[in-house]
Amino acid sequence: MLEISEQAPRFTLPDQTGKPVSLQGLLENGPLVLYFYPADFTPGCTREACAIRDLHGELVAAGLKVAGISPQGTESHQRFAEKYQLPFLLLSDVGKAVIVDYGVNGPLGFGVRRATFLIDQDGIIRDAVLADLRIGQHEEFIHQAIALQA
């Protein structure tokens, strides 16, 4: 996993509508909470996405953008976002290139590790958490990111 103070690897991935989204574009108006998750519609990932959805107003008020990345295709992301009314971008990394670049590929290349990064407007990782099964740690991390921006 990438370390604090490292440069975040640049990327361009399709969002849930198929529109290409770049890291540079996400950082245009402020810092980014970028989270990686294993799969749409799984119990843990649904819980995490809904927790972030519920914090979205606070994130926006703090000047933070949020995006999630997983290896499912855009159609799955679109269904997931619609079903749970997710107001943030879900990016599709089917080939897992970005997942590998951020060091969150699962053991032996299977799956994706659950990780969340706070990336500043210059593309520097300011904080990060890796907690595969402890979803509450990711929610705490986001609360701290919001507090840092306030």
Contact 129, 48 (CB under 8 A): no
Closest CA to 120 of 33, 10, 21, 37: 33
Distance CA 104, CA 74 (A): 20
Residues labelled as active-site residues: 45
The conformation of residue 71, written as its DSSP 8-state character, comes to S
Which residues on adjacent β-strands are paired with residue 13? 21
Contacts of residue 74, defined as CB under 8 A and 6 or more positions apart, other chains included, come to: 14, 15, 16, 17, 18, 92
Token duo for residue 35: 């989270």
Hey, CA dihedral for 131, 132, 136, 139, is it positive or negative? Answer: positive
